[in-house]
Amino acid sequence: MSERRVDHEVVLRYWGMLEDIAGKDAETVTIPTHWRVRDLLDWVGNRYPSLSDTLYRVAIDGDFASEDDALDGVREVALMPPFSGG
Amino acid sequence: MMNDLMRYRRQMLLPEIGWEGQQRLMQGHVLIVGLGGLGCPVAQYLAAAGVGTLRLVDGDEVQEENLHRQILFGDADVGKSKVEVARERLCRLNPHITIEVVDAYFDETNFEALARDVDVVVDCTDRFDARLLIDHACRLYDLPHVYGALYRWQGQCSVFGLRGGARYVDVFGTQVCSAEVPTCAETGILGPLAGLVASVQAGEVLRLLATGNSPLAGVLWIYDLWRHRPSQIRYNHRPITGNVPPVEKSIQIEGKRVKQLTGQSLKEVLSDGRVLLLDVRQPDELPRVERSGVMAISLGELPHKHHFIPEDKKIVPFCRKGLRAQWAAQWLVEAGYEVLGYFALESENVWFDEASMD
């Protein structure tokens, strides 16, 4: 029996200076359902190479995530850098 | 005493504060690090609410281009010490509280004395290295760290380390300094955004003192004032992933590239007799490197002790991982010294190989 692969949509949200690099504050992308956080990070790094020079954390649906977390059923992925201004 | 309490009556009407909560506010001792766009309103609200003792730390002077968001200061204050002006204003605002001021930056030389006897630390700085040091101090003395930070139209707030909860470096890692982002001076900042984030910080400080709890413990609160988009991200468990930039092998200072030296290039550099290796680690970090041509001045001590460096020397600062050496290089170049490069003890085993050094 072959594994059934379905794609689904997630909203990627770029906070802080990541918005300046991506040129947008959010976008909807279609990803394979079996993807984990690390797969999406690779994809983002390829799409916006300058993001690789930036420190940020990943959150899925309101929780900071680890790289093994599954994206199945996830609606929003936020990329969150620390801010420095005061 | 009754007269003192009259001014707090409207906040004491809140059942969550009440008479007992007000007593706790009046016994509270709060350290505010940084008196900028965040620190000014935080200090004003805490003073007005009757927090017993405020310790204000900032080594800067009032500058005209910051008046739009540092609303404790006015035109006539430009050029004066921020903490001294703040003391005068806050004493007038509420003469029943104690204001302690420290006209210095929060750094490796003073953080222990400044943090050890307070109840809460409010992080209102605009630098990653100071935020890391606040994290360190709060860990050392088991204090809650009320974090606030700004980027253009967006702000972040959180309460780190409450009763053993996750801390700043647990969320963002220790390498935030290598991800130096543009400052308010470069990107622009709107006063009311600073006021908004400062209000959230001040609210959490009052709640922590009065009740011991905060809903922002374990939660990063974020607000985008341009789009009016709020967000909250929980962080209390699991290792947090993301992207960490590669450790830079060179940095840009005043338009010039300053390189991280490898063992081989260090050897070449050392053949020049005018080179001084500057150990910017803390005095208790091992192994100590004692040979001719090496001088030890920790990063925090540089502004006070740099005059010990002979003027004709070309300097190569070093530390364990290279980060403090980068900051030292930056400081030295800006102070007019010639910096040939910097060095990380960990990066090259060759350092301990005497043959390669001679």
Residues of B284-316 as b/e, b for ≥16 C-beta within 10 angstroms? eeeeeeeeeeeebbbbbbbeeebeebeeebebb
Mean pLDDT for back-to-back runs of 10 residues, chain B (358 residues): 78 96 98 98 98 97 95 97 98 97 95 97 94 95 97 97 93 73 70 97 98 97 97 86 72 78 77 88 83 88 91 90 85 90 72 41
Instruction: Give me the CATH number covering residue A37.
Output: 3.10.20.30
CB contact under 8 Å between A86 and B187, yes or no, is no
Query: What pLDDT was estimated at residue B182?
Result: 56
Residue A73 lies in a domain: yes
- Within a 10 A sphere around the Cβ of B119, how many other Cβ atoms? 18
Query: What pLDDT was estimated at residue B356?
Result: 39
pLDDT in tens, B38-75: 999 999 999 999 999 999 999 999 999 999 999 999 99
CB contact under 8 Å between A17 and B37, yes or no, is no
Residue A1 lies in a domain: no
Query: What pLDDT was estimated at residue B185?
Result: 62
Tens of pLDDT along chain A (86 residues) come to 445 567 899 999 999 999 998 999 999 999 998 999 999 999 999 999 888 878 999 999 999 999 999 999 999 999 999 999 99
The residues in B 163-202 lying below 8 A from A, measured between CB atoms, are 171-173, 175-176, 178-184, 187, 189, 194
B134 interface with A at CB cutoff 8 Å:
no
Domains in chain B, ordered, with CATH? 2-234 (3.40.50.720), 250-357 (3.40.250.10)
User: In B240-281, where does DSSP find H-type helix?
Assistant: 263-270
Question: Judging by DSSP bridges, how do beta strands A56-60 and B242-243 pair with one another?
Answer: antiparallel
Residue A24 lies in a domain: yes
pLDDT in tens, B300-315: 889 999 999 998 899 9
Q: Which positions in chain A touch B240 (Cβ < 8 Å)?
A: 57-58, 64-66
Interface test with chain B among A52, A55, A60, A68, by most B beta carbons within 10 Å: A55
Of A55, A79, A86, the CB nearest to B244: A55
Q: Residue A59: which domain range?
A: 7-80
ipTM of the complex: 0.93
- Within a 10 A sphere around the Cβ of B155, how many other Cβ atoms? 28
CB contact under 8 Å between B179 and A16, yes or no, is no
Looking at the structure of chain A, the number of domains it has is 1
Find, in chain B, the residue whose alpha carbon is nearest to that of A50. B245
CB contact under 8 Å between B233 and A45, yes or no, is no
